[in-house]
Amino acid sequence: MLKPTKPGFGRVAHTVMGILTSASVVFLILLAVAGKPAAIDLHNGGNGDPVAATKPLQKPEKPAGGNVTGSSVSAPGHTHKVRVATWNMRDCAATDASGKRIALHAEIAQLIKKMQIDVIIAQEVQVDSKKGGDIALLSVALAQAGWSMPYVYSIDPPGEDDLAIFSKYPIRDTGEIATPQKGDAWPRAGIAATVDVQGKALHVFGFHFKAMGDSASEASRRAQALAICSALNDKYGPSLSKHAIVLAGDFNTTNSDEFAKKNSTLGILSFQNDTDPNNDFLDANYRYCPDTPTFVDSRYRSILDHVLVSPTLARAVYKDDVMVVPAPKVEAPNVKGSVPVSDHCMVAVDIALP
């Protein structure tokens, strides 16, 4: 029988500046050359300049084929609107016909800038100690694009698919959630951080669940969902519904019975399994864009990527606040036509903090 653990938030994970890499040094040099503030710190809660995050959101240009809308008007009683996104970045790379790796950090940064993302939870990025070094390289690309996100936190779970949060606002209270123990069914922990939005706390949790559509993989996803709910209940207790909480990531919800129903992957994550309907989270893009897949290939098309928000945030999220953004395509050597920057869409939601 699969049993959820009671994962904590205490284990210290890697930050981007935990290991000084050559890419990190290049980042600082480029910032200085470009006239950006040199006193930038990629630690959580560092000294970077988050001023750009305070300007009002503007409705982004709608990409071709995209289900993209936006709104800059907050609901009554809600202020400090912030645009939060999740994106599986496919290691920030593509491969041409000869097997050569093509780095796509610049293209990723351009879409983040175009969509005016304030906080993004990234999956399939490589921490700087690994071969991709995506964290520092993407930070460089964002600065070069004129959309610096100076606060970055990442974790290095087992395997090659790491997790990171990039933010225009300070990051604090970092750690992991649902860290698997021996015998647990899921392969990797989630990333946890609190984003300080002008004195308002936004609690952000990012995930990359087990992939594939077989029954064992689906059971793994449900087990991790149960572990996450247990951890959140332990952390927030009876006040859970009153906290500004975002659960976002690639949940790999491949099968149709993983949506909405009680005891399903998303039913569990939405807190439908408890006895208090006031705790139920809103699965924003599934609720407002149910016919818009975030992943399509020869095997299946499904909404794998989700942004779920707690009840206090859900009251101010409307259809126009939810964006599903197709990955742009780029020309690649030795490839006929073009290739998408990622095999997943970005999902973004405008969130007004109470």
Q: What pLDDT score does 12 carry?
A: 37
Q: CA 132, CA 182: separation in Å to the nearest integer?
A: 28
Q: CA 311, CA 241: separation in Å to the nearest integer?
A: 5
190-209 pLDDT, tens digit per residue, is: 999 999 999 999 999 999 99
Q: What pLDDT score does 336 carry?
A: 65
For residues 67 and 342, the model is more confident at 342
Q: Does residue 210 fall inside a structural domain?
A: yes
- Alpha-helical (H) ranges within 10-96 are 22-33
Q: Does residue 248 fall inside a structural domain?
A: yes
Cβ–Cβ under 8 Å, residues 117 and 348: yes
Q: What pLDDT score does 80 carry?
A: 76
With a pLDDT cut of 70, the percent of the chain lying above it is: 76
For residues 229 and 95, the model is more confident at 229
Q: Does residue 96 fall inside a structural domain?
A: yes
143-153 pLDDT, tens digit per residue, is: 999 999 999 99
295-325 pLDDT, tens digit per residue, is: 998 888 999 999 999 999 999 999 999 999 9
Cβ–Cβ under 8 Å, residues 324 and 74: no
Q: Which helix (H) or strand (E) holds 196?
A: strand 190-197
For residues 54 and 176, the model is more confident at 176
The pair of structure tokens assigned to 354 is 């109470």
In this structure, what DSSP letter does residue 106 have? Answer: H
Q: CA 281, CA 267: separation in Å to the nearest integer?
A: 9
Residues in the chain: 354
Q: What pLDDT score does 339 carry?
A: 84
Taking alpha carbons only, the member of 244, 296, 294, 232 closest to residue 268 is 232
Cβ–Cβ under 8 Å, residues 190 and 245: no
Q: Does residue 2 fall inside a structural domain?
A: no
pLDDT above 80 (res 3): no
Q: CA 14, CA 21: separation in Å to the nearest integer?
A: 13
Other Cβ atoms closer than 10 A to 255: 18
Q: CA 65, CA 63: separation in Å to the nearest integer?
A: 6
261-276 pLDDT, tens digit per residue, is: 889 999 999 999 888 8
Number of structural domains (the chain) is 1
Direct distance between the N- and C-terminal alpha carbons of the chain, in angstroms, rounded to an integer: 40
Tell me the CATH number at 34. Answer: 3.60.10.10
Q: Does residue 8 fall inside a structural domain?
A: no
Q: What pLDDT score does 44 carry?
A: 33
Q: Give me the mean pLDDT over the 16-24 stretch.
A: 38
Instruction: Give the mean pLDDT of the chain.
Output: 81
Taking alpha carbons only, the member of 327, 202, 348, 345 closest to residue 285 is 348
49-80 pLDDT, tens digit per residue, is: 332 232 333 334 433 233 443 333 445 666 77
Q: Give me the mean pLDDT over the 10-25 stretch.
A: 38
Q: Does residue 10 fall inside a structural domain?
A: no
Q: Give me the mean pLDDT over the 129-136 stretch.
A: 84
225 alpha-carbon distance from chain centroid: 16
Q: Does residue 7 fall inside a structural domain?
A: no
Q: CA 162, CA 14: separation in Å to the nearest integer?
A: 10
Judged by DSSP in three states, 216 sits in helix
Q: Give me the mean pLDDT over the 91-115 stretch.
A: 88
Query: What is the C-alpha R_g of the chain?
Result: 19
SS3 content of the chain, % helix, strand, coil (to 5): 25, 25, 45
Cβ–Cβ under 8 Å, residues 71 and 58: no
Other Cβ atoms closer than 10 A to 26: 14
Q: What pLDDT score does 286 carry?
A: 97
Q: What pLDDT score does 247 carry?
A: 98
216: containing domain? 16-353
